Chains A and B, each alone.
Chain A
Amino acid sequence: MIDVDKKLHRLNDRLVYIKDIFAGKQDEAVRMLQVRLEEFQARVSEMSSQEKMSALSAMEELFTFMEQKLNEQLTPMDKVRIVRHPQRICLRDILENVYDNYTEIGGQDDKSIDPGMLIARAYITRKRGKALHNQPVMVIGQETGHGEEFRNGGSVKPWGNAKALQYMKVAEIENIPVHTYVFTPGSYPIEDYPGAAQQIARNLYEMAGLKVPVISVFSEGGSGGAEAIGLADRRLMLSHGYYSVISPEGAAAIEGRLRDGARAAPELIERCAMQLKMTAYDNLNHGLIDQVVEEPPLGAKPYHYEFFQSLRNELMRATDEVVLTTRSFALLRGAVSHPHRPKSLENYNAENFVTRWSLSPKARERLLTLRHKKFRNLSNGRWIDPRTPFDKTLSKIQATSTDLINLFRHDLWGRRKKQIGFAVEEMDAGARMLLHRIFTPFFSFMRELVGPRPQPRIAAEELTALSSWEEDNGKSSVWSYISSKAKVDRAVTCPNADKYGCLDLWAPDLYGEFAGVCTNCGHHFPMGYKWFMYNVFDPGSIQEFNQEIEAANPLNWDGFDAKLEQAKQKTGLKSGCITFEASINNTRMCVALLAASFRGGSVGVAEGEKFLSAIERAQRKRLPLLAYVHGTAGIRIQEGTNGVIQMPRCTMGVRRYIDAGGLYLVVYDTNSYAGPVASFLGCSPYQFAIRSTNLGFAGRGVIKETTGMDIPPDYHDAEKALSRGHIQGIWDRRDIRNNLHQALLTMGGRNLYYK
């Protein structure tokens, strides 16, 4: 009897689940199942237990059949509902069923620094012959639980991500692989000590150089929160999961231009979910994940034991693959290289195949190289480059020859020259000392003999006549580039007028001579990016590169082609990123500029590619690298996961550049938020903000929506970011040039051409 109740209960759960995930759709199927269930319940008291069991079995079969049928009709939004459903498997289910043993680290249930982030040491036991091998791993992932409120749906706070990072570093020390599980709708968007963006950027930066294999499994991959633990050597994805730049609701709010938490229509959300190309197979097709792990129809639940078995198998295999590719035996590497796995390994049973998961120092280096290569190639080609293949080859050859020239100039000749230089200097100093000792007594004797040295003639001329003076143009108060805003005859009110009694400023003065700075309180009005380009660097020193690379519409997002075209027309730019070389007091540097005027400075594949190329160019030519963020609204949602992938991709580039001994400076102006700040910008050790800048993770609306909190008006301002330790200083716009010069003098690594 208990059995019948249990089975009935479970069937009921399955029905509720179907209802939930289809949210009012698939009425007919639901009604049919419901009727059958009700019929059974009406008749159950009259049935024999035999009849009950067979009726139940029939119904179970019907459910399974219907689930299979419905599974084929799942829309992306249905999958969103699947991963968010309390019946969905959670990380603890995986720990229970995939690993042979585990200990949770750092908290029990709600007694944890962040119950949304779960850390466990676990092991997988494998057999070879009679020997048992326990292979330890560090398991890190968001824990959604089955609807417990304190888990916050896997929305992790900055300190939760910090905990994750701490244990990744532990894994690195212990030389064991990391398995991360992405179960998050997104990061909890607060600014604290640290702020959300600040911590995600730290995680990405560290993972970019983490010297142990990292395997990640995506179930719910909500943008920044996912990236905080998602940068991995192998990225598996559950077939019913999603991995997206933004939640469909968020995308719909932006697409529908909704304000103040107004809800988007379900149709719009559904359409956005479709356009975001966020399902497992979408992401696989775009090459953004490596492999899909098939789930049972309508998604995995805690009792799908076969699913756990296959997940276990895929995990072991993925870990083996990563480890093997780092080994020096080319044959072995070839044997498992993915995805063209030789037939002989198709049916390989990971359980009986023991590979040691710890890496030798050399293998660790190779691991990083491979990881870098992997991310370098992600989203490749999803921009427009009108250059002919010949041109592209030519520019590659040029790059290589620069490499060679630099190798010679700096490494071979440069070092030698320095040594010679030192020798000459020392010799010179020694010789002078010697001469001094020899001749000083003689000179002092002569002086006494001749009497006091004649006073220099009183140079009245020198004190009263005009001296020669070449005024430094850089110091003159007149800017060489004047904003077009300075051509309008109107007065402008300072936002601090009430507080500090600032008088209105005349636009031609304000945007011209004053460089957009209130003369009374120092408030900085936003200026166009051209002001920065043409007033900060040595005149005529700007040399743009890669301007051919053009933002595209890789997901064929509805209506986006027209919007892109409009942005290109309006700004005369081809993407939101401008990359160039320029000089400050004759020191060359490489600059990547994000222009707020091009679609809010959002970052898509083209921008990421240009940014990454700029990093590589700086590394090749040993130039300091400056990211000037003239505002960014985040990752461009219309490019979906292709956009999000720029976060780890560019951070990886930054990491390699810094490790190679460069100088990576970030300067924020106007408003900078979300993905880019939470990755390749926010990871710089030298970040500065122009006064009156706002920066952070999520805007006011999103914070209100996700946390229910109202935030103070100064929540994101530069002073707050400085207090939080996100940035290292606040600059006056008029001092950018001097401060950059100072930064070149005092900061950065050893591998810069002028050092």
Chain B
Amino acid sequence: MLDISKLLEEIKQTPFDEVEIISPWCGRVSCADINEDDPVSGPCGSWLEIPGTLLASVEREHNPKPVRAPEKGRIKLIRKELEGQFIEAGTPLVTLKHFLTKQEVIQIILRQALHLFNAPERAKYYFVPEVDMKIRTAGHRSVRVNDGMDLFIMSRMKREVTLPYSGPEGLIYSVYFSHNENVGAGDPLIGVCPEELMPIVEDVVARVQAEWEEQD
């Protein structure tokens, strides 16, 4: 049985997350006008249509490409010494201190509760087209999975195979992988919520909503 209080207490010990923001590309850096300890925001608006705070811009092939804050937080470290320099892809630019949101806390706790379906191999994963379509239009919580159902396409070594889901029947409650990124063997792909777990999930959501205070 899930001990929500205990988990919540644990998280409250370290309610921060440190996010290292790297440049996804090569290019020449110009830092935005921000400083350490400045607050930044991630994408927001009803449709996340307002982009996050500009942290830096990396110009590649005469195309200045913005690097933005992926979530709300404060700047812990900004590498202003890189200003004007050419950097390689993957170079860290900024470290953010991010206070966990209710949603994130819920996700952390639910990882203990949901049925996790893990990646069998290091590979890139995609939902099969029919499921992908449904997720795009109605969100992943609209997808009910059952044992043996073709759910993923596993792509590695330029080959693609379909990967059936195995486990209890239920709704996809969480998706842990993203487009075009490798998932290590044994890492979770999705968290599935079977019918009987629904009360627990609801309980977690209610508890976190009530007990977790979001901070900047």
Contacts and interface: CB of A to CB of B under 8 A. Distances in A.
In the complex, A touching B (Cβ < 8 A): yes
Given A710-B46, A712-B46, A501 B179 contact: yes
A337 B159 CA distance: 82
A713 B61 contact: no
B65 interface: yes
B43 to A, nearest CB: 10
Given A501-B179, A501-B180, A492 B63 contact: yes
A712 B49 contact: yes
Contact of B62 (A491, A501, A712, A713): A491
A504 B47 contact: no
A504 B61 contact: yes
Given A501-B179, A501-B180, A710 B45 contact: yes
Nearest to A489: B62
A493 B65 contact: yes
A525 interface: no
B60 A713 contact: no
A491 B61 contact: yes
A542 B180 CA distance: 47
Q: Which bracket fits the contact residues of A? A: 10 to 19
A506 interface: yes
Nearest to A497: B65
A621 to B, nearest CB: 47
B89 to A, nearest CB: 13
A713 B63 contact: no
Given A501-B179, A501-B180, A490 B61 contact: yes
A673 B60 CA distance: 35
Given A501-B179, A501-B180, A506 B46 contact: no
Q: Quick one: which of A491, A492, A500 has the most chain B CB within 10 A? A: A491
Nearest to B45: A710
A713 B49 contact: yes
Contact of B63 (A493, A500, A710, A712): A493
Contacts of B45: 710
Interface string B40-66: 000001110100000000001111010
B24 to A, nearest CB: 10
A489 B61 CA distance: 8
A311 to B, nearest CB: 47
Contacts of B179: 500-501
Nearest to A499: B179
B46 A490 contact: no
Contacts of A488: 62
Contacts of B62: 488-491
B145 to A, nearest CB: 24
A713 B46 CA distance: 10
Contacts of B60: 491, 504
A662 B209 CA distance: 63
Interface string B96-133: 00000000000000000000000000000000000000
Interface in A469-505: 488-493, 500-501, 504
A712 B50 CA distance: 11
A630 to B, nearest CB: 25
Nearest to B62: A490
Interface in A508-522: none
Interface in A701-731: 710, 712-713
Given A491-B60, A501-B180, A504-B60, A713 B47 contact: yes
B61 A712 contact: no
Contacts of A501: 179-180
Given A501-B179, A501-B180, A490 B49 contact: no
A666 B114 CA distance: 53
A506 B60 CA distance: 11
Contacts of A710: 45-46
A491 B63 contact: yes
Nearest to B65: A493
A504 B49 contact: no
Contacts of A492: 63
B47 A712 contact: yes
Interface string A373-385: 0000000000000
Contacts of B61: 489-491, 504, 506
Interface in B138-185: 179-180
Interface string A722-753: 00000000000000000000000000000000
Nearest to B63: A491
B135 to A, nearest CB: 13
Contacts of A490: 61-63
B162 to A, nearest CB: 21
A713 B50 CA distance: 10
A491 B61 CA distance: 5
Contacts of A504: 60-61, 63, 65
A491 B62 CA distance: 6
A489 B63 CA distance: 10
B175 to A, nearest CB: 15
Nearest to A504: B63
Nearest to B136: A499
A501 B126 CA distance: 13
B177 to A, nearest CB: 14
A701 to B, nearest CB: 14
Contacts of A493: 63, 65
A488 B63 CA distance: 11
Contacts of A506: 61
A752 B61 CA distance: 51
B48 to A, nearest CB: 9
Nearest to B46: A710
A612 B106 CA distance: 62
Nearest to A712: B47
A500 B16 CA distance: 30
Interface string A92-113: 0000000000000000000000
B204 to A, nearest CB: 30
B3 to A, nearest CB: 38
A450 B180 CA distance: 71
Contacts of B46: 710, 712
B90 to A, nearest CB: 17
B111 to A, nearest CB: 25
A710 B44 CA distance: 13
Interface of B: 45-47, 49, 60-63, 65, 179-180
28 contacts: A488-B62, A489-B61, A489-B62, A490-B61, A490-B62, A490-B63, A491-B60, A491-B61, A491-B62, A491-B63, A492-B63, A493-B63, A493-B65, A500-B179, A501-B179, A501-B180, A504-B60, A504-B61, A504-B63, A504-B65, A506-B61, A710-B45, A710-B46, A712-B46, A712-B47, A712-B49, A713-B47, A713-B49
Interface of A: 488-493, 500-501, 504, 506, 710, 712-713
Given A504-B65, A710-B45, 17 more contacts: A488-B62, A489-B61, A489-B62, A490-B62, A490-B63, A491-B60, A491-B62, A493-B65, A501-B179, A501-B180, A504-B60, A504-B63, A506-B61, A710-B46, A712-B46, A712-B47, A712-B49
For the complex of A and B, list the 4 residue pairs with the smallest distance between their C-beta atoms, beginning with the closest. Answer: A490-B62, A491-B61, A491-B63, A713-B49
